[in-house]
Structure formats: C-alpha cells, structure tokens
A and B are shown apart, each in its own frame.
Chain A
Amino acid sequence: MTPCRPAMRPHWLAAPLLSLAVATPALAQEDPIKVGILHSLSGTMAISETVLKDTVEMLIEQQNEQGGLLGRELEAVVVDPASDWPLFAEKARELLAQEEVDVIFGNWTSVSRKSVLPVVEELNGLLFYPVQYEGEESSENVFYTGAAPNQQAIPAVDYLMNNVGVERWVLAGTDYVYPRTTNKILEAYLKSHGVGDDDIMVNYTPFGHSDWQNIVSEIKAFGSQGKKTAVVSTINGDANVPFYRELGNQGIDAADIPVVAFSVGEQELTGIDTAPLVGHLAAWNYFMSVDTDANYDFIDAWIEHTGDEMAVTNDPMEAHYIGFNMWTEAVRKAGTTDVDAVKDAIIGVSVPNLSGGHAAMMPNHHITKPVLIGEIQDNGQFSIVWETPSTVAGDAWSDYLEGSRDLISDWRAPMECGNYNVVRGSCGGNQAEEVAAE
C-alpha cells in the first residue's frame, strides 16, 4: 500500500487527463465510485480544511493511477459547507441522498461533526473524521481516524510529568466543547496523580482571542512559585498566533515554562515567526519531520500535487491518508462499496501509517496510533523528542470521567453498541452521554 509516486505534472492537468481515463473502455464499463469530500473551503475554517480537501483529491488521483478500486474509477464529489455548522448537515444530506456517494471524508470541528451525525446515521452513510477530538462519542457510521484524548492529551501530560518533572499546570483553552472536555479529563487525571488544586490553573478565552497580555503575565506569575510549571494549551486556530507572539515578547522561554499544544501543527505554524518559540511542544500522532521513506514519499507527492515547494503536511492529513487506505482495503475485502459490508469488513483492517508502523481499525471505530511529542524548531517544523514505545488504541469513552468510565463501544456482532454500560450490562443510549457531558 505504499503510495505510488504520481507522475510529474501539476494537478490542474490531472483533471482533463482523468476524464480521458474515464473514457477508456476498461474503466468506463461501470459507474465510478463516488467519494464525498465535506470540508469548508470558505469561512473561518477554510484555513485548516482546504488542505484536507486537497489531500483526499490527491489520494483519489493516486488510487486511480493504480487502476482504481474494484476495477472502477474513483470520483471526488466536493461540496463547500462554508464553516457553517447547519450547512454541514444539509451538504451531508446532499452528498448522501442526491449524489449517492459511497463514503464521505470530512469535518474538522466537533460541532460540525455533531451536526452531520444524525444525517449520516439516518441515511446510513460512512464518514471518516480526521481530527483529534474530545472523545465521548462512538457512532456506527463514523470512523474516527484522529486522536482520542488518550492518544494525545494523556501521553503528553505523562511526558511532562515524568520526563520534564512538571508539578504545576496551566490548562488554557478556547471556550468550547473540545477544550472543556479535554481539560476536565486532564484535571481528573492530574488529581488522580496527586497534583493539588493549588497547582492547577484553568483558563478559558473566547474564539479568536487576540489580547493575551494579562493571561501570559498571569502564567508568568503562576510559574514563579518555585515548582516546574507547564502550560497545556487547547487554544484553537487563529488565537494561537497572538498567544505565541505574546509568549515570545514577554520572554517566556520554553526552558522555563514549556507550552504543550494539542491544536498547533505545521499548518498553523506557517503563520508565525517561530524563532522565539523554539522548544515549545506539541503532541500529535504524526509530524512532517518523521524520518521514514513512506513519509518522504507522501511529502514529495503532496508538494507535486500543490505545486508549492514550501507546502507542509500535518497530522489530520495523515489521518485522511490512513482512513482512505483503510476504506479502500475494506472495500477490496468486502468486494463491494455497500456501506454495511464495508462497515463490517473494516474492523481489524491494518494499513501502514507514515511514521513507520501500522494503524488498525478497532471495534470502537477508533484506530491505533503512536503518540509523538515534538519541539518547535525555527523553521516551523517539529523535532520529535519522545514517542510511545508502541501504538495506543483510541478510547472512545474516557476512563477519567464519571459516567463515561463504565462505557465501552464495540460495533461487532453481537454487541453492536457504541455505549455499552458494563455495570448495568445494557446498551446505554442517550442517558449515558448526558451523564458524561455533565
């Protein structure tokens, strides 16, 4: 499954050539397999999501160059939900009901996923979701190829606690569901490891917050109490640039107070001058600087696809790479693109990831991933300083939250349940979710 190096030509040429390929008799006998792409191409989230659309298009192109799937051509159906959460649901309906796509790759924010969820379940579609998220969800129709909290947040905190010796914690996040849930899990986790209330500071800021002076100054004061302090940041999107600038200007050095971020990757760093940030950390399951041939091939293909020598790759792109390959593998295994058959076939499918290992689809629709900790370098890349010895399986229901710790998810027969309560011995339904959200 190593990706073939695509021929050396810019992608705008690819479209007409593709349509030529469709005309060839071998592939034209059957209708193409339709792959829906549901990523915002306009509005606030376009900054993160456009590259994911391009990634899936590149993967489809590569697949077609290898002869398509089941002897049929793949065809991308791109829609633009414009960073508008209700529009995500409408566009998902359009993809499934009108375009009749066989699979959807899409979404970034949790709220957009929650908006699409009932549509995909009602029309029995397949959705591959590539972004790290807060967990506490498992749907029969969704495959979560991004990290659950136990594949990103918890190992990062472990690293800081054990390898850096951090004793005081600032949990800083943007005020919405992912940071709130993640911080709740982290707070419970830290307390279970003997960290006192006084040594945890929690701070939330609005979306797009741009004035960080006071908060950074508070962090500075919080960190001068004689104990090693670290900031765990779930600050989202645009707000990171002014935050890191303020850190640099107020002279918070990574050696004094390291900041570990869960939402800052190569793509976000392209908007920042990283020289003052060297040494601050990020936790992901993939970095562009991973030193494997599979990764270099992927980067080369990406650079050729975008035609930009300086194009960067990031974690959600790798998640789509894995998700796409898992789906094609499952379709091949099932011999059909029928949703129910693929859903059953994909559990247990294992494909190579870009960091030299394998990713396997678990019965809870999450995948196995290695966890990497990287330090920011002055060229906008990360240098990997630590990684888990083996891959970690994604846990849909956190073990550190009341109500959620008794739930398991297993979509294989005979259980076929996304929130089975092991204490009550029954499939939980919505009650359990409400408890977990408390």
Chain B
Amino acid sequence: MRMLPRFLSGLLCLCLLLGLPLAAQAQDDPGQALLDPLDTASYADKGEAIEAIIASGDARSRRWLEALLGGKLQRHKDTGRFVVVVENRGRSWPVVDALSFEDAGEMSRRELDRIGINNALRGQLQGALAVLDLHADEVRERREAARALLGDVDASLAEPLRAVIDGEEDAEVRRLLEQALAIHRLEEGEAEAVDALAGSLNSRVRSALNAASRSEDPELAAAATSALADIEQKMKLNRGLETLYFGLSLGSVLVLAAIGLAITFGVMGVINMAHGELIMLGAYTTWAMQQLLPGQPGLALLLAIPAGFLVAALAGVAIERGVIQFLKGRPLETLLATFGVSLILQQLVRTVISPQNRTVVSPEWMSGSLMLNEGLSLTLNRLYVLGFALVVFAGLMLVMRRTRLGLEVRAVTQNRAMARAMGIRATRVDILTFALGAGVAGLAGVALSQLTNVGPNLGQSYIIDSFMVVVFGGVGNLWGTLVAGLSLGVINQVLEPWAGAVLAKIVVLVFIILFIQKRPRGLFPQKGRAAEG
C-alpha cells in the first residue's frame, strides 16, 4: 500500500514531463484559449464560452461541441491538458488530445475532470450543432436540423436563419425553418406569426401557441386561441388513431406471449406454468447473441430469432420428457410440477447469469418512431413487434393446417386412441407439439427483449395474461387467441386514459370473468365431438 503513492507520483512526474512541451505548444494554439473558459463551475460562464467557440469559426469547433455534448471533453487534473475521451466505460479510458486530435494513450477516471453540462447547455449545443447541420449535403439531415430548431430560435439566430431560408432548395426544410422563425416571432409578441403556424400539429408549435393564448395582448391571444381550436380538431382524429395503434401493439404482445400457450394448453391441454420462463429463455438468447456479436445488435437480433426458437424448443422437450409425460391426464399435478420448474429456471438464471437485468440493445433501425404526420408517430420497435406477431401467427396457422405434423397434432388431440390405431406415433407427436409451443414462446421472448427488461422475472409478468388470452379466445382455437389478444389490448388502451392503468386492468379482468360465466368456452368455442374431450 505504501507503493501506491510513490507509483502515482511517478506517474504524475511523467505526465508533467509529457505535459510541458504540450503546454508550450498549446500556448500558440488559439484553441487552448477557446477551451480554457469552459473549465468553470458556472453554467452561465460555460454558455458564454460555447458562444465564443461558435463565433470563432475554428474548424475544430464542431468536434469540440460534439465532445462537450457527449460529456467526452475532459481535462487532466494535473497538467490541465484538454482531452476527448474515446470510450468511457470501465476504469481506464482511451483518450485523444483535444487540440491535435492525436492519440494520447489511456487515462484513468481518477485523473480526469469532466467538463460537465446541464440540460440548458445541452439545448444550446444541440441548437448550435443543428445550425451547422443546416448546411449539410443530405436533405434528410437538413430536415432533422430544421425540426430540432423549432422552439430554439433566439434573437441572435433569427437573422442568419432568414439568409439560410432564402438559400434553401428543399421546400420542407424551408417550411420548418419558417415555422421555427414564426415561433420566435410569436414569443416576441407578433400576432401575424400565428398564420405561419396555423394547422401545424407539432408539439412545440402547440406549446408556443398555448403560451401565446395566455398573452396580455388580446389580439395575439385571440389569434392563437383560434389557431389552437383548429389544431385541436385535427388532433382528435390523431388521438383516436394513436389509441388504436397502442391497443393493437399491446394486443400483439399479448398474442405473442399467449400463442405458444394456445398450442401447449389449448391444443394439448397441458397446463404449463413454466411457459413464462420459456419466454424468458428466448429473451436471454437475444442477450447472449448480442454478447457473441458485439457491435452488431441488428444481426444478433435476427440470428436470435432461430436461436431463441431452438433454445426454448429444446428446453420444452426437456420439460415434456422430464416432467409432463409422467403426469399425463393429471392437470393439478402438472400445474404444480411445472410451477416448480418455472421457479427452478428463474433461480438458475439468477445464479448462473445474474439477478440483475441484462442490457439488450435496440438496433438503429428499431429505435425512434415512424412519423405519419407532425402529430402522429408510431414507435418503430412496437411496429416491428406487431408485424412479427402477425408473421408468427401466420406461420403457425400454416404449420397446423398445411403440414403433416399439423394434421397429426389435430388427430392426436381429437382422439388419441383412434389416431394411434391409424399408425400415428402419439408420443412423438406430443414431443413435437410441445417443442413447437415452447419454441414459439422463445420467439415471443426475442420480441419482448426489445420492449421490456430482460431479467429473471420477465416470464412471471406474462404468464397470467397469457392464460387470460387463451381462455378468453376459446381453448384450442388459434384464431380465437389472435382476436382475443388484439381486442383485449385495444379495450385496455381505450380504458386507460380515463380509468388509469390500475383500474383498467381490473375492469378487463372483471369483464373476462363475466364473459366466461356467460360463454364458458370463450369467444370461439370448438364445435363437434372434439369439444367434449
């Protein structure tokens, strides 16, 4: 322990030696004078320092601002040298010099002082970067920059922005910039600015109009209020569509979680309480794939689809062979035994991997949202999950209706003895059916890893919902599961805004209980002799 201070001081000397020539060199560099004022505790002073950097027109200013925005611009405590951190995870970070952008080795977080920013400065930096982006070559980048400027235009930016508008070719960019300018004019109290904003569904525009409608100036307040009323009208339709989308999206999650169960419970009649844990295994497979393919979350996710299916299917086979086959026709024992299996699987994950949640990264193409219009955008990850649920459903229908396996499954479940008499190996069919249901649960896990936590408790939160959907839809009917899942999702989301999340859940449960009282076999009851079995 005595060694440590000496080692540190040695390191310090080395740094000082290295730092001296750099300091001498830095004095000649105008960049040092620009960066120095950033190292202050006052956020107001930092704001001024940023202004100075922007005004300097230094070629490196963009990289400085980006580093500052990312919290990567740091200063060495002893030498005062500014560096940009390349990767800031772990204890020791690779850095580059902030003036020359040359490699400066590794520095530990003990030696570095971060140039911290807060939300106000972040807004200022984003605005400054957006202004720089207005000159980008790509139209898409210019549009994004213009959108980012909505509500962020101040007096100093107004003049240069007018010049940019005149030089801009793309109509959309021009329209957005004019709106950004109009918000600024509105804040200055110009009633005419309302015309430029009329009909826009953008939330920042609405926010600005709302503020203006409370203005002292009666003319401005009246103009803003009437513009808002018009916008509200349009928003109503948007809100309806949005709620429908939310409902379908929640429904698709329910369908995905339940559809595997619709096979194992619905078709085979096995009450499998470990169904949730099979979903969890699928999610953990996604995580494992991302660990195996670092830096390629998208590819890992695609590969996780077959991998998740296989892992969960194999686990399913193990459960079927190890537990369920011995308990055939004894539903209560099956329920208890599979519940035990679910607890074992959970604790296994806790012990072997970690009780902590694992990070599953969303690939770039699944983040953000698809903008239909300014007031309505659909979150991409949920859109993909919705599509995935439908594809899985279609695939499953195909297997059940069009393949030999599907035919055999239906034969065995309808009349086991007769099917065996016809030469169908019932045991093999049992294994394959259970594996199919389990595998589909694994697929649900892959999809859920993009929406919720990947942790040991993942499965528990879906098991009740899954049984609910299958029972509501009609046991043994895949179409019933689809319709039940989607409609429960929509009902839940319609109820939620005025009942609250807790009450909405209760209302849905009560509704299902009453419904089952009236129609014990669910939405789509099986007909004929099969229903008696």
Contact = CB atoms under 8 A, between A and B. Distances in A.
Nearest to A228: B207
Interface in A228-283: 238, 241-242, 245-246, 248-251, 254-256, 258, 267-268, 270-273, 276, 278-279
A164 B119 contact: yes
B206 A224 contact: yes
Given A279-B122, A383-B114, A213 B207 contact: no
A213 B451 contact: no
B212 interface: yes
A225 B206 CA distance: 7
A217 B501 contact: no
A424 B517 CA distance: 56
Interface string B358-374: 11011000011100000
Given A223-B207, A238-B357, A309-B91, A255 B502 contact: no
A205 B206 CA distance: 28
A242 B253 CA distance: 13
Contacts of B177: none
Most buried by B among A50, A226, A238: A226
A279 B69 CA distance: 10
Nearest to B357: A271
Interface of B: 1, 4, 43, 70-71, 88-91, 109-110, 113-114, 116-120, 122-123, 126, 203-204, 206-214, 242-243, 246, 249-250, 253, 347, 350, 355-359, 361-362, 367-369, 377, 379-382, 451-457, 460-461, 492-493, 496-497, 500-502, 505
B169 to A, nearest CB: 27
Contacts of B122: 254-255, 278-279
A279 B119 contact: yes
Contacts of B456: 46-47
B381 A385 contact: no
Contact of A250 (B1, B109, B358, B377): B377
Given A47-B356, A238-B455, A255-B122, A217 B209 contact: no
B119 A245 contact: no
A309 B90 contact: yes
A378 B359 CA distance: 13
Given A175-B502, A255-B123, A309-B91, 7 more contacts: A47-B357, A205-B502, A214-B243, A215-B496, A227-B211, A273-B359, A303-B91
Contacts of A254: 119, 122
Given A211-B253, A254-B119, A309-B90, A204 B502 contact: yes
A297 to B, nearest CB: 10
Given A205-B502, A206-B505, A279-B122, A214 B493 contact: yes
A124 interface: no
A256 to B, nearest CB: 8
Contacts of B126: 255
Given A208-B461, A377-B71, A310 B90 contact: yes
A380 B361 CA distance: 13
Nearest to A295: B110
Given A223-B207, A238-B455, A215 B71 contact: no
Interface of A: 4-5, 41-42, 44, 46-47, 50, 164, 175, 203-206, 208-211, 213-215, 217-218, 220, 223-227, 238, 241-242, 245-246, 248-251, 254-256, 258, 267-268, 270-273, 276, 278-279, 291, 293, 296, 299-300, 303, 309-310, 375, 377-381, 383-386
B497 A218 contact: yes
Contacts of B119: 164, 254-255, 258, 279, 375, 385
A249 B358 CA distance: 20
A42 B347 contact: yes
A215 B501 contact: yes
A206 B379 CA distance: 23
A300 B1 CA distance: 13
Given A42-B347, A375-B119, A208 B457 contact: yes
A379 B357 CA distance: 16
B71 A378 contact: yes
Contact of B453 (A215, A242, A276): A242
Contacts of B500: 203-204
B356 A270 contact: yes
A383 B72 CA distance: 11
A426 to B, nearest CB: 39
Given A213-B250, A384-B116, A249 B501 contact: no
Contacts, number: 173
B208 A226 contact: yes
Contacts of B1: 4-5
B134 to A, nearest CB: 19
A278 B369 CA distance: 18
B110 A385 contact: no
21 contacts: A47-B355, A47-B455, A50-B355, A204-B500, A204-B502, A209-B501, A210-B461, A213-B379, A214-B501, A224-B210, A238-B357, A238-B461, A242-B451, A245-B451, A249-B380, A250-B379, A270-B356, A270-B357, A271-B357, A276-B367, A310-B90
Contacts of B461: 208, 210, 238
A296 B381 CA distance: 38
A238 B116 contact: no
Given A238-B455, A245-B381, A42 B70 contact: no
B357 A241 contact: yes
A246 B123 contact: no
B220 to A, nearest CB: 13
8 closest A-B pairs by beta carbon, nearest first, are A271-B357, A226-B211, A226-B210, A46-B355, A249-B379, A213-B246, A241-B453, A224-B203
A217 B358 contact: no
B70 to A, nearest CB: 6
Contacts of A204: 500-502
A161 B358 CA distance: 35
B501 A205 contact: yes
Contact of B88 (A206, A270, A379): A379
A381 B497 CA distance: 34
Contacts of B367: 248-249, 276
B369 A249 contact: yes
B369 A251 contact: yes
A251 B455 contact: no
Contacts of A46: 350, 355, 456
Given A379-B88, A383-B71, A383-B114, A270 B359 contact: yes
B89 A226 contact: no
B452 A210 contact: yes
A206 B253 contact: no
A220 B71 CA distance: 27
Nearest to B458: A238
A210 B457 contact: no
A218 B250 CA distance: 16
A257 B507 CA distance: 31
B113 A291 contact: yes
Contacts of B118: 375, 385-386
